[in-house]
Structure 1
Amino acid sequence: MTQARAIRLAEFGAPTVMKLETVSLPDPGPGEVRLRQTAIGFNYIDVYQRSGVYPLPLPTGLGHEAAGVVEAVGPGVTDFKAGDRAAYMHAGIGAYADRRNVAADRLVPLPVEVGDEQAAAVLFKGLTAQYLIKKTYAVQPGDIVLVHAAAGGVGQILCRWAKGLGATVIGTASRPKLDVALAAGCDAAIDYTKADWPDAVIKATGGRKARVVYDSVGADTLLKSMDCTAPFGFVVSYGAASGPAPAVSPDLLNKKGCLYLTRPSVFPHNADARSFRANAADLFAALEAGIVSLDIGLRVPLEEAPKAHEAAEARATTGAILLIP
């Protein structure tokens, strides 16, 4: 039995419901490894789950992704040994901890070129971008791509990767973050806090609409996103930072130009070890080639996890947020 420090919550609510506790961690079971975590990734889904928007059974931990070093392996594990570096982003809730047991088939080995902090910062976000631009809609050279929240973690990766694929990329962000969006590869950055932002998007492209819109904002943007989408184009709703997206009737999609609307998720695209590791290899190759990168905007000690949530909800950061055990 090993002692671990972990963030737990017994109720939903404000960031202060998160409490650091000492928990007993059994030896790894069959097919498991014990990972000593060196960096933990924050994702906005953590806010939804902590606040109860996406409720979890209580009491619960939080967090989906981390990187670290294998300390011990359970019976039947052959892919990893003590001392190996590894990361995960879909191993069950509970990444906010300094140690945890994880199913080996939920881990991806880390190449030498990818550091622990980089892996924890980019894996969840990078694999989200990977399925969005490679599978949900395969971005092609010459496409016009509109990315909302382009200064955020996923947004920056989406912009850089789409640009690397030869697309014209229009990003939206609040005014203080427009420079971040431009630095992430956007050909133009639009302030989406202004009511006429769809007109500004179309003006920036010389009157052309987007082949695909990647919308992680939800309530505030989805219907207007359709006004920026070319006929037979794709509107991809993959988040709800401003609240749940409104219901959309099939007739509205027809009237807006025979559009395609989808609400995908990163988890089904990485549901088994083979898919997960293949997708991660694609992401790591893009990192190594310099196509994809992500700045770390905030590092917070594990015990100060509420500060990370407060900063994210206030939209006070750009890039990735890490918790450091």
Structure 2
Amino acid sequence: MTRRIQVHAAGGPEVMKWEEVELGAPGQGEIRIRHTAVGLNYIDVYHREGSYPLPMPTGLGVEGVGVVEAVGAGVEGFAVGERVVYAGGPPGAYATERLLPAARAAKLPDDISDQLAASVFFKGLTVEYLIRRCHEVKKGDVVLWHAAAGGVGSLASQWLRHIGATVIGTVGTDEKALRAQENGCAHTINYRKEDFVARVKEITGGKLVSAVYDSVGKDTVMGSIDCLRPRGILVSFGTASGPTPPIDLSTLGARGSLYVTRASVAHYTAQRAEFDAGADAVFEMLRAGYLKAESPSTYSLQNVAEAHRDVQAAKTSGSVILLP
């Protein structure tokens, strides 16, 4: 028997229940993992609220670090006792132990700690595909990144600074603006005090930006489009403020032959070769010191409801991890 967070109906943080479940042995292509740290990502909120519906009852969580306890038939490259990190696959990371498709796991290098991996891996994979494969940001580009002090935004700002891009980041507090600047934002905009579109125009001298990365959604999407220069791209990868409104395609033409994509990390890591390449890139950036994670906000796994409330209230910055 093991314990995990179960959700029987979509709703607020209170729907998450700490329950005892029978886990069993790993099946074909699976490994059994004993968690040492679990990453909290905003997609967990979407799953819990039902924005991204899941069959009920369901577990939650798509990222974790742990030790392999058992290996199922057909699994190659993993052995009992090895440390692994994973991202994606069926939700179920909010647990002391779980079964996982081995295809979603990577061996964790000895020089990267469990908590660092849980803080960075999924968010690092997200940044890697967003700025290198979904839309390749190059040296000299100017981009706008919403929620720049968040877990993904913090890593993206560092990675983009290493590339040589100029990052304009939106944040919700002056304290978060300072963090974003430390992580590589050349300019920050407190969206609670300033009109971010007007500030982008001012910062760029009216030239606007080549790309906007928007995980906020409803509250920012139309303004994001207004920040794009001709042939610029809006990369939408989340809807923290709610679903985005419909966009008239003729508007994109009138505003400069703009591009829009709704990107998902699942589609950019579905192939094992892409997953491994993304993981290797994240590990290398960590080793080289180009990516540094501030101390994560930590909560006990049983206290995950408080963690969700704090994340949704924007009380956290950087990464949030859960400890079994």
TM-score range, shorter chain: over 0.9
Is the partner of 1:214 in helix, strand or coil?
Answer: strand
State how far apart, in whole Å, the 2-side matches of 1:208 and 1:189 are: 17
Q: 2:126 maps to what in 1?
A: 128
Q: 1:306 maps to what in 2?
A: 305
Letter in 1 for 2:10: F
Q: CA deviation at 1:91?
A: 2.2
Q: Deviations over 1:189-211 (max 9, x none)?
A: 00122462211122123332111
Q: CA deviation at 1:43?
A: 0.5
Is the partner of 2:276 in helix, strand or coil?
Answer: helix
Counterpart check, 1:245 vs 2:240: no
RMSD: 1.2
Q: Deviations over 1:120-161 (max 9, x none)?
A: 111111111111100111011100011000000011111111
State how far apart, in whole Å, the 1-side matches of 2:260 and 2:193 are: 24
Q: 1:229 maps to what in 2?
A: 228
Could you tell me which runs of 5 or more consecutive residues in structure 1 were left unpaired when the two chains were aligned.
Answer: none
State how far apart, in whole Å, the 1-side matches of 2:295 and 2:310 are: 13
Listed as ranges, the matches of 1:144-155 within 5 Å are 144-155=142-153
Is the partner of 2:21 in helix, strand or coil?
Answer: strand
Q: Deviations over 1:81-124 (max 9, x none)?
A: 11111011112111100101112122111111211111111111
Is the partner of 1:315 in helix, strand or coil?
Answer: coil
Is the partner of 2:314 in helix, strand or coil?
Answer: coil
Listed as ranges, the matches of 1:230-309 within 5 Å are 230-309=229-308
Deviates more, 1:288-297 or 1:270-279: 288-297
State how far apart, in whole Å, the 2-side matches of 1:288 and 1:171 are: 25
State how far apart, in whole Å, the 1-side matches of 2:98 and 2:73 are: 16
Is the partner of 1:212 in helix, strand or coil?
Answer: strand
Q: 1:8 maps to what in 2?
A: 6
Q: Is the 8 A contact 1:105 1:272 kept in 2?
A: no
Is the partner of 2:65 in helix, strand or coil?
Answer: strand
Q: 2:42 maps to what in 1?
A: 44
Q: Is the 8 A contact 1:46 1:62 kept in 2?
A: yes
State how far apart, in whole Å, the 2-side matches of 1:195 and 1:222 are: 16
Q: 2:20 maps to what in 1?
A: 22
Q: Deviations over 1:8-62 (max 9, x none)?
A: 0111111011011111111122222111110000011111111112221111110
State how far apart, in whole Å, the 2-side matches of 1:248 and 1:30 are: 44
Could you tell me which runs of 5 or more consecutive residues in structure 2 were left unpaired when the two chains were aligned.
Answer: none
Q: CA deviation at 1:273?
A: 2.1
State how far apart, in whole Å, the 1-side matches of 2:211 and 2:3 are: 43
Q: 2:108 maps to what in 1?
A: 110
Q: Is the 8 A contact 2:119 2:296 kept in 1?
A: no
**TM-score, normalised with respect to structure 2:** 0.97
State how far apart, in whole Å, the 2-side matches of 1:142 and 1:106 are: 34
Is the partner of 1:97 in helix, strand or coil?
Answer: coil
State how far apart, in whole Å, the 2-side matches of 1:209 and 1:26 are: 55
Is the partner of 2:88 in helix, strand or coil?
Answer: coil
Is the partner of 2:80 in helix, strand or coil?
Answer: coil
State how far apart, in whole Å, the 1-side matches of 2:10 and 2:79 are: 37
State how far apart, in whole Å, the 2-side matches of 1:216 and 1:273 are: 26
Q: Is the 8 A contact 2:139 2:165 kept in 1?
A: yes
State how far apart, in whole Å, the 1-side matches of 2:173 and 2:304 are: 27
Q: Is the 8 A contact 1:148 1:172 kept in 2?
A: yes
Listed as ranges, the matches of 1:169-188 within 5 Å are 169-176=167-174, 177-188=176-187
1:70 equivalent among 68, 71, 83 = 68
